[in-house]
């Protein structure tokens, strides 16, 4: 990871011609004119490929949990349906809002890079807001767990509760990872060099956490 010591903190925009294009590293053919140097530019940044790899594996994990839920529910008669704690819906709004604020942050940072220096506010502000919303989400989830437990519905009360806790806790743990990523991005922004690819990868992960939550909410709402 590049750390420049003597320059003031900056935000770097990696100029990758392939950024956003779809002829990336998947087909790194040697060009007919033999100019091998062109091959380099087509490779996506590892952070970008890396985050897709991570998201693929997280998807598989939650797919496994989903099929476990479906099989377990279908195989026995002991499923006790219950109403989801209403705070979950509030939390959903919070996490969606956090994705919006994250996108605002990204665009502000890009604009700042592009020279729109008229903005006086720190580009990190919207990142802080996202972080706050993320923490609020986790607090809200914790509230849901505490509330259920106080009502006497624990992990082993019934298999429906078991899956509720397993899915929401697993999601929250992954979300904490996303929060860690945001903290790291803010740290780099303020103290060293933040690459565009790092910011993009972290954002992609964060948005995925939001999408995953919406999916889980829907699954729980349908099944529980």
Any residues with CB less than 8 A from the CB of 169 and at least 6 apart, and which? 145
Tokens of 209: 């956490």
d(CA 91, CA 165): 15
Closer to another protein by CB, 43 or 104: give it.
Answer: 43
Shortest Å distance, C-beta 79 to another protein: 8
DSSP state letter for 133: H
Give me the residues that bind another protein (CB under 8 A), please.
Answer: 1-3, 15-16, 25-30, 32, 36-37, 39-41, 43-47, 49-50, 53-54, 56-61, 63-65, 67-68, 71-72, 75-79, 155-156, 159, 162, 166, 170
For residue 206, CA distances in Å to 12, 76, 177 come to 21, 36, 9
Shortest Å distance, C-beta 43 to another protein: 5
Shortest Å distance, C-beta 28 to another protein: 5
Shortest Å distance, C-beta 67 to another protein: 7
CA-based Rg of the chain, rounded to a whole angstrom? 21
The answer to whether the CB of 136 falls within 8 A of the CB of 92 is: no
| Best CA proximity match to 127, nearest among 146, 153, 107 | 107
Closer to another protein by CB, 10 or 67: give it.
Answer: 67
Closer to another protein by CB, 76 or 120: give it.
Answer: 76
The sign of the CA dihedral 102, 105, 111, 113 is: negative
Closer to another protein by CB, 9 or 31: give it.
Answer: 31
d(CA 67, CA 19): 36
Closer to another protein by CB, 66 or 112: give it.
Answer: 66
Tokens of 40: 């380099």
Shortest Å distance, C-beta 186 to another protein: 20
Shortest Å distance, C-beta 96 to another protein: 26
Closer to another protein by CB, 108 or 195: give it.
Answer: 195
Query: By three-state DSSP, how is residue 2 classified?
Result: coil
**25: enclosing H helix or E strand:** none
């Amino acid at each position: 990871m590049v750390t420049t010591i003597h320059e003031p903190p900056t935000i770097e925009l990696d100029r990758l011609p392939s950024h956003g294009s779809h002829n990336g590293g998947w087909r790194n053919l040697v060009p007919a004119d033999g100019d091998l140097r062109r091959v380099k530019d087509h490779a996506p940044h590892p952070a970008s490929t890396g985050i897709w790899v991570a998201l693929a594996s997280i998807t598989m994990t939650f797919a496994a949990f989903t099929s476990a839920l479906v099989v377990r529910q279908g195989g026995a008669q002991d499923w006790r349906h219950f109403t989801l704690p209403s705070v979950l819906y509030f939390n959903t709004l919070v996490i969606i809002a956090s994705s919006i604020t994250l996108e605002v942050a990204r665009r502000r940072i890009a604009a700042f890079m592009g020279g729109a220096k008229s903005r006086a506010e720190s580009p990190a502000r919207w990142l802080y807001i996202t972080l706050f919303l993320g923490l609020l989400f986790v607090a809200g989830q914790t509230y849901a767990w505490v509330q259920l437990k106080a009502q006497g519905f624990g992990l082993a009360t019934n298999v429906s509760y078991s899956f509720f806790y397993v899915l929401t806790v697993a999601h929250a743990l992954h979300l904490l990872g996303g929060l860690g990523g945001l903290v790291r991005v803010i740290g780099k922004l303020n103290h060293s060099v933040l690459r565009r690819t790092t910011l993009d990868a972290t954002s992609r992960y964060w948005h995925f956490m939001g999408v995953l939550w919406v999916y889980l909410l829907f699954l729980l709402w349908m099944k529980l």
